Amino acid sequence: MNVSRLTGSLLFRIVVAIILGIALSAVMPEWLARVFVTVNGLFSNFLGFFIPVLIFALITPAISGLGRGAGKWLGVTTAVAYTSTVISGIVAYGVSQGVYPRLLAGDSTAQAADVEAGALKAYFTVEMTPPMEVLTALILAFVVGLAMTAVRSDTLYRAATELEAVVHKVISSFIVPLLPVYIFGMFLSMGMNGNLTQTLSVFSKVLVLAVVMTLLLLIVQFLLAGAYARRNPFTALRNMLPAYVTALGTSSSAATIPVTLEATKRNGVNPNVAGFTVPLCATIHLAGSMMKISLFAFAIMAMDDMPLTWTKALGFILFLGVTMIAAPGVPGGAIMAAVGVLQSMLGFSQDQVALMIAAYIAIDSFGTAANVTGDGAIAMIVDRMSRGSIGTGSPEPEAGAGSGSGAGDDASSVPAGAGE
């Protein structure tokens, strides 16, 4: 059973795709490799077409659902969770500016001239014009979602949640099965172009840095929460270890919610407060995911000499914090929801996006673990602010994710290893 669950996970399939791409790059004939390059081009163009639809379809019911559970502590908890997520991105930017000039000195994801000269060409391409720009979809989803909280139209809400279900079906039945093929084609092409070894060496450094930074992020979160809630931060963090370990094994915030709830209660948080904040934050608090995505994105920009001003970085972080509300129920999670922002705001190419997906999923569970453990810190803050006064009349936590979203960054139907 455990073996079957492992082999069926997205992470396992991605790892196999990477290994096969590397191994076959030395022996595969060029004519056959170009078939995979063609598939990659078509899949990439489809993603460009579909991502705006995905963002609108997932964010609209999520925002509307949050509003339907309107209340003072809903707003407070959402503000604290979003602030934590944004600060995580700002810290990642600061670390990238301080560390990457030395850590990644002389590295690049590709030797531009050589790679272009020897790059494999697709047999054909099909242009797929998206129905709207990514930022247009994000702003439209935000406006419509907020308007729906005021109008409270059940018909419109049902239509939004049904569109969300359709998008989930496209993701689970088409995008997820093709992701390993996409990653395979990307590593196969890199191997045949001669820049694979350098790229893997560089990304190993960033992977280690991302894991370390998520751990440091948790320590800081609990130091601040402990100081405000007047509790020992290290005892509180130790009490949350079962949730952290569970999330490492499942890569699912939804599956970890029961464990997170019990760990949060052991920190003295009122059960009503814990029952409200933990499922809600599993949907909207993605500080660990923000840390990983930002570190990977800024690393690629540093290696490829792409300009990154603090204003561009801040805009990216602010929009990403909202976009990742779309992460619930999305296999590959936050990184899939972030693809559009990476392309539109940072100018990522399809190869850079493929690198992001592969690197992100490689340590997916560490981001999930940081997210759910940090939920315990937010619960301590909200408990202190509310003095445990959140009653049983609080909104249903699951409403925040709309239908099919569950209460986490990935639905319970998403296989382990396919979290945010």
Domain ranges across the chain: 7-386
**Four-residue CA torsion sign, 87, 91, 93, 94:** positive
Per-residue tokens: 259: 């464990």
Per-residue tokens: 33: 């490799």
227-247: pLDDT as tens digits = 999 999 999 999 999 888 877
16-34: pLDDT as tens digits = 888 898 889 889 998 999 9
Q: Do residues 409 and 327 make contact, with C-beta atoms less than 8 angstroms apart?
A: yes
119-167: pLDDT as tens digits = 678 888 888 888 888 778 878 887 888 788 777 778 888 898 899 888 8
Tell me the fold of 7-386. Proton glutamate symport protein (1.10.3860)
Q: What is the pLDDT of residue 370?
A: 92
Tell me the C-alpha distance between 124 and 41, whole Å: 9
pLDDT(405) > 60: no
Rg (CA), the chain: 21
81-121: pLDDT as tens digits = 999 999 999 999 999 999 998 888 766 665 433 334 446 78
**Four-residue CA torsion sign, 151, 154, 159, 163:** positive
Looking at this protein, which amino acid is placed at residue 30?
A: E
167-183: pLDDT as tens digits = 878 877 888 788 788 87
pLDDT(220) > 90: yes
